[in-house]
Structure 1
């Protein structure tokens, strides 16, 4: 990963990884419309790959993490990078920004109007975290285990049960 998020066209960069793993990346400008565009990118990518069993969870987490990057992470004039990965054991969303600071999960008061994003991600994803990048910025990620996906559950549930004789 480059140390600086570059300016340029917001285009998807498809990548085929070894062992059938998939990875797709897209840059987004720091705008109010970016969370919606990033959600659409995540949904379109997962749908194209046939990975729809946790689509709503992944859409929600992408929205929360990208919103945080736009509001608190990406400096003015910089972009946000969103990566969707289909790995052997899990699906993963990464959001990279060039901002300082490390996001932390908060426990907002009952009447607070914000501060619930990472709480939602923590409750929805099977794992999440923050990684420092080479150079400025960070990567906030959320992962979703395959054993909770419909495809894996379906193959386990349709296996023959009982005595075959």
Structure 2
């Protein structure tokens, strides 16, 4: 039996987490409706944080990354974790799943009906990548630089790190 996905988002990219940022994470079941639900979560969170300059780009990348996790990453019965981070220099969307496959960008045939997800992410986001997780699976992320989004940096926090607010 496959291991369950745990909330190990902070282990996925510890070098990119900074104490001055905000984050929010939600677990979603592996279902056909999960990409839509995850997009709604991202839009609601970024709107609440007043981070809407590149909302359409972030919504599109969320859709592609979550669709990949549902179709190719998360085994049946497992969960997908979507994490949004607002860091000093960028906004970052991470999608974690417990599957063993590492996604790769490809160039599909013109007539192909699918296979363009990571190509779309690579041309829409300022950067993207795949990180191993502690435990099963991987984290696929897309980042959006603040200098291109027009968003302002967060002021330094004077309190300790916040937990997930989902």
1:103 corresponds in structure 2 to 103
Aligned length: 140
Higher relative contact order (CA 8 A, sep 6+): 2
TM-score, normalised by the number of residues in structure 1: 0.81
CA distance in 2 between partners of 1:53 and 1:89 (Å): 14
Q: Distance in 1 between matches of 2:96 and 2:150?
A: 28
- Measured after TM superposition, the shift of residue 145 of structure 1 is 0.2
Any unmatched runs of 5+ in structure 1? 7-16, 153-165
Task: Give the CA deviation at 1:117.
Answer: 0.1
Q: Within 5 Å, give how 1:33-112 maps onto structure 2.
A: 33-112=33-112
**Post-superposition CA distance 1:73-97 (Å, at most 9, x none):** 0001100000000000000000000
1:4 is displaced (CA, Å) by 4.1
Contact between 1:4 and 1:135, CA under 8 Å: does it hold in 2?
Answer: no
Q: CA RMSD, aligned part only?
A: 1.6
Partner of 1:137: 137
TM-score after normalising by structure 2: 0.81
Structure 1 residue aligned with 2:11: none
Partner of 2:19: 18
Q: Which runs of 5+ in 2 are unaligned?
A: 7-17, 153-166
